[in-house]
């Protein structure tokens, strides 16, 4: 799998999904706590912005990363029409700039998960490519901040049923790689019966 191609494909699919939403759907809650579909789209649209802009916003937020992300997404969502947000997300295709300190897989994880943040609450089935989801899950597993994935599934061995992916130790929890990725990023709960 070519990561850049996978990012471009996922961004195109997200733009297409957003373009098909009506105004009511844009105002619906997403899987991101406190954000509507509109804020999630705005956050994605900002993902290739200049590094100096992110630094300025981080300073304005008192060096609180989550606060900076929330404020910038809300402000951008308030200033843009839905058509502008769709165009901005579509305009990310082919962009290779990413935030400082991130890897080429970070934009892939970002767009895959945020697409589900939008699609799932709206009842829209949007399958993830398994190789792309596995790469994103491996990235999330390898890091502490911001997802703390290992803590979420402590005491479990998570095993994908549709691609070669196995992490952790303990009782086995099997699920599709897309479900595991959403669990590792905190979008869905770890099953109580695991």
- The predicted-structure confidence for 120-151, as pLDDT tens digits, reads as follows 999 999 999 999 999 999 999 999 888 899 99
Which range among 2-6, 16-20, 101-105, 123-127 shows the weakest confidence by mean pLDDT? 101-105
CA pair distance 105, 67, nearest whole angstrom: 23
**According to the per-residue pLDDT averaged within each range, which of 70-74, 163-167, 190-194 is highest?**
163-167
CA angle 98, 40, 149 (to 5 degrees): 70
What DSSP designation does 175 have? E
Q: What are phi and psi of 159, to 5 degrees?
A: -130, 125
Instruction: State the residue for tokens 């649209």.
Output: 45
CA pair distance 82, 111, nearest whole angstrom: 18
Query: Model pTM?
Result: 0.91
Domain ranges within the chain, ordered by starting residue: 3-101, 130-184
Q: Which of 85, 87, 106 is nearest to 35 (CA)?
A: 85
Residue 69 has pLDDT above 90, yes or no: no
Question: Residue 166 is encoded by which pair of tokens?
Answer: 């196995």
């Amino acid at each position: 799998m070519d990561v850049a191609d996978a990012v471009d494909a996922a961004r195109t699919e997200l733009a297409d999904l957003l373009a098909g939403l009506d105004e009511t759907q844009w105002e619906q809650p997403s899987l991101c706590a406190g954000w509507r579909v509109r804020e999630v789209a705005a956050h994605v649209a900002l993902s290739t912005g200049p590094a100096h802009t992110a630094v300025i916003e981080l300073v304005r937020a008192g060096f609180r990363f989550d606060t900076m992300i929330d404020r910038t997404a809300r402000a951008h969502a308030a200033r843009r029409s839905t058509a502008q947000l769709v165009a901005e997300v579509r305009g990310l295709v082919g962009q290779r700039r990413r935030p400082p300190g991130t890897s080429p897989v970070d934009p892939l994880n970002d767009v895959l998960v945020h697409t589900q943040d939008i699609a799932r609450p709206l009842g829209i089935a949007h399958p993830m490519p398994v190789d792309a989801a596995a790469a994103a899950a491996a990235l999330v597993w390898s890091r502490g901040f911001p997802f703390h994935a290992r803590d979420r599934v402590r005491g479990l061995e998570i095993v994908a049923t549709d691609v070669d992916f196995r992490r952790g130790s303990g009782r086995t929890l099997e699920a599709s790689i897309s479900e595991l990725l959403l669990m590792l990023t905190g979008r869905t709960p770890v099953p109580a019966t695991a």
